[in-house]
Amino acid sequence: MTEAEAAAELARLAAEIARHDAAYHQRDAPEISDAEYDALVRRNRELEALFPALIREDSPSQRVGAGAVEGFSAFSHGVPMLSLDNAFSPEDFVEFCARIRRFLALPEDEPMAIVGEPKIDGLSVNLLYENGRFTRGGTRGDGAVGEDITANLRTLSDLPLRLKAPFPARIEIRGEVFMTRADFLAYRAAQEAALAERERRRDAGEKLGPAVSVPVNPRNAAAGSLRQLDAAITAQRPLKLFAYAMGEASEPPAETHHGWLETLRGWGFSVNPLSSVFNAAEAAEFQARMASERPALAYEIDGVVYKLDRLDWQARLGFVGRAPRWAIAWKFPAEQATTTLLRIDIQVGRTGALTPRAVMEPVMVGGVSVAHATLHNEDEIARKDVRPGDRVVLQRAGDVIPQIVSVVDADRPGRRGAAFVFPSLCPACGSHAVRVGDDVVRRCTGGLICPAQTVERLKHFCSRRALDIEGMGDERLALMHERGWVVSPADLFRLGARRAELSALEGWGETSVTKLLAAVEARRQPALERFIFALGIRRIGEANAKLLARHYGDVAQWRERMRAARIIGSEAREELGSIQGIGPTIAEELVDFFAEPKNLAALDDLLAEVTPDNAQVIEGGPFAGKTLVFTGSLSTMTRDEAQARAEQLGAKTSKSVSKKTDFVVVGEDAGSKAAKATELGVRVLSEAEFRELAGM
């Protein structure tokens, strides 16, 4: 992988991870599984290890803790909020007990009392009480620091605002905030109705109001409700709280964990009534009882937490890593069921990814009826060899989306159904769907015309860093697309013909339509690099668009050479590969884009409306082939302007200073980058020196 490819990939990862962070933490509506998310973070970390100079300021690795919603202040826990180790079998539990005995040197016959508590998958919170009053409360966050959600917590009816005396002067109480199954279903139904109403309003061109999210499970619903910036909204949500642990305490409130739970009850907390104390040997029995009671419980549980009862022993055992030695979460096995696979649908995502989805005869798994499951990608289908008509084992394992685990009796004689053939044409638009490089995902190449992708592509096309069409917001684009007025980018430039229809839309009016149309007109001559970037070709971010613009100079030349580059070994393909920073994968993406006749038609249609400016590169000069970093604020021009000038003079610009940097241009209030430049012996330029060398 070249540095430019890595840079493009890191940019993509930063954006994608940020999007998923927002979906998970702020809207509580995850779009991918935890495992898929972890894979993205891992990929980011691996690339950064290979290219440390490319670490971005907005990289997920540079952020502290888990994306806090803006608007909450930090909440530091007096004692860290830890996680628990997991057990999955009786053997794991026996080993947990043996480890405790070894650590404390307890004889075999010394009785060991254990408390078992159902493990609810909600949101853990830390509640600080000072002189018996609830003063502050926070989320877990990264374990050391969470978000201060005091105002929201005050609205919970299960949370006592004052403790019944006697109590220690200062104590942190931990517990789980959750939603019952019934409350969750009712709340989700209400959110679905609100969403449908919002869509109706969008169709009718009415004012939309705030965004609506539909929670996928009780945990998301509880998390979303607790993270409201307006406590009045939290107050309307049916949240419950069970208290179960202690953080910092000015004096020990009990000698045993079960005594502590009694104390909590006495103070007015609700403590799970199923929590009970027994001898370690009886835990397996308790586990079995909880598993059988699970379907009838009012809330979802995913296992049982076992804690050593004696607090003095807990104190001696302490912690290893991020988990206590004195507690363990014994998880229930994932729930499975068998059903028939009816067919495999292919869905096209907003970025053109073709995702197979299993459609099955509905079956109950873990208390919910399931009719769909993800099959991830075509390799996965081949590996499992699932075919329509097969009996399949389905599993719901904490994840939002159920999975197909295996085929039942795949070797049976007379197996129905032929092996599934993954389509090579996009089911949404008929364009070619291809796999590039070692990507497991097959993607539609018809980016400019594919209905599954158009709105997303149009948003990108109009966005600030692309064509920068002011006033062309996401909602407006979605509406115009729905009406059929804007299907491909070229249509944006023909909106003038729809002035009357646009003005008739609720809340638009003459003035805003005039402004919008003027903003479109102002972009008929975009810079070539912006134009290339705006097309939204996969892996062609700003940096690669600049490389292409600089190399090919004008759009006709670029188009012609990209077509010619289809033939491997051709002169045009060699030329493309020779551009510093354009690796084989990027070349393949470009060639695939230009190989799709529908894209060419859309591109030519667009070129009938806009005329990209030729890229002008001034040869020679002090910055040709050099790498520049700008830092601090400039006084006579914007950072964008300065970078554009440097690039016009043949320089590359970068965000971080490394040994490869040739110049660091230092503005006012420059921070660590200026210091690093001096440290590495990189030449530092003032703004005035830069202007002079750049002939400005």
How near is the Cβ of 536 to ligand IVH at its closest, in Å?
A: 40
The span from the CA of 333 to the CA of 336, in Å, is: 9
Q: Are 497 and 443 in contact (CB under 8 A)?
A: no
CA dihedral (224, 225, 227, 229) in degrees, to 10, reads 120
Paired with 162 in beta bridges are 133
274-300 residues labelled b (16+ CB within 10 A) or e (exposed)? bbebbebeebeebbeebeeebeeeebb
How near is the Cβ of 322 to ligand IVH at its closest, in Å?
A: 9
Residue 240, helix vs strand vs coil: strand
Count Cα neighbours of 446 within 13 Å in the Cβ-side half-sphere. 24
Of the pair 80, 632, the CB lying nearest ligand IVH is at: 80
Instruction: Report H helices in 88-180.
Output: 90-104, 150-153
Residue 412: both structure tokens together: 């049976």
Of the pair 141, 352, the CB lying nearest ligand IVH is at: 141
Provide the binding-site residues for ligand IVH, judged by CB under 6 A. 82-84, 117, 119-120, 124, 140, 176, 244-245, 305, 324, 327, 329
User: How do 170-178 and 123-130 pair as beta strands?
Assistant: antiparallel
Of the pair 119, 652, the CB lying nearest ligand IVH is at: 119
Burial class (CB in 10 A: 0-12, 13-18, 19+), 200: exposed
Kindly name the residue from 119, 307, 331, 598 that is annotated as catalytic: 119
How near is the Cβ of 551 to ligand IVH at its closest, in Å?
A: 53
How near is the Cβ of 118 to ligand IVH at its closest, in Å?
A: 7
How far from chain centre, in Å, is Cα 629?
A: 30
What is the rounded radius of gyration, in angstroms, for the C-alpha atoms of the chain?
Answer: 30
The span from the CA of 118 to the CA of 128, in Å, is: 24
234: left (phi over 0), alpha (psi -120 to 50) or beta: alpha
Of the pair 104, 323, the CB lying nearest ligand IVH is at: 323
Of the pair 124, 336, the CB lying nearest ligand IVH is at: 124
How near is the Cβ of 398 to ligand IVH at its closest, in Å?
A: 12
Residue 331: both structure tokens together: 């998880």
Residue 256: both structure tokens together: 């045993």
Nearest-CB residue for ligand IVH: 124
How near is the Cβ of 141 to ligand IVH at its closest, in Å?
A: 11
Torsions phi, psi for 116 (to 5 deg): -105, 130
Of the pair 257, 538, the CB lying nearest ligand IVH is at: 257
Query: What's 446's DSSP letter?
Result: -
How near is the Cβ of 333 to ligand IVH at its closest, in Å?
A: 17
206's CB contacts (< 8 A; 6+ apart) are 506, 507
How near is the Cβ of 84 to ligand IVH at its closest, in Å?
A: 4
Of the pair 117, 589, the CB lying nearest ligand IVH is at: 117
How near is the Cβ of 187 to ligand IVH at its closest, in Å?
A: 20
What is the biggest distance separating any 2 CA atoms in the chain, rounded to whole angstroms? 89
Q: Is 307 a catalytic residue?
A: no
89's CB contacts (< 8 A; 6+ apart) are none
Of the pair 317, 586, the CB lying nearest ligand IVH is at: 317
Of the pair 226, 694, the CB lying nearest ligand IVH is at: 226
User: How do 240-249 and 319-320 pair as beta strands?
Assistant: unpaired
Polymer length in residues for the chain: 696
Paired with 117 in beta bridges are 305
How near is the Cβ of 238 to ligand IVH at its closest, in Å?
A: 19
Residue 417: both structure tokens together: 């159904």
3-state secondary structure 279-312: EHHHHHHHHHHHHHHHHHCCCCEEEEEEEECEHH
Torsions phi, psi for 97 (to 5 deg): -65, -40
The span from the CA of 7 to the CA of 187, in Å, is: 43
Active site residues: 119
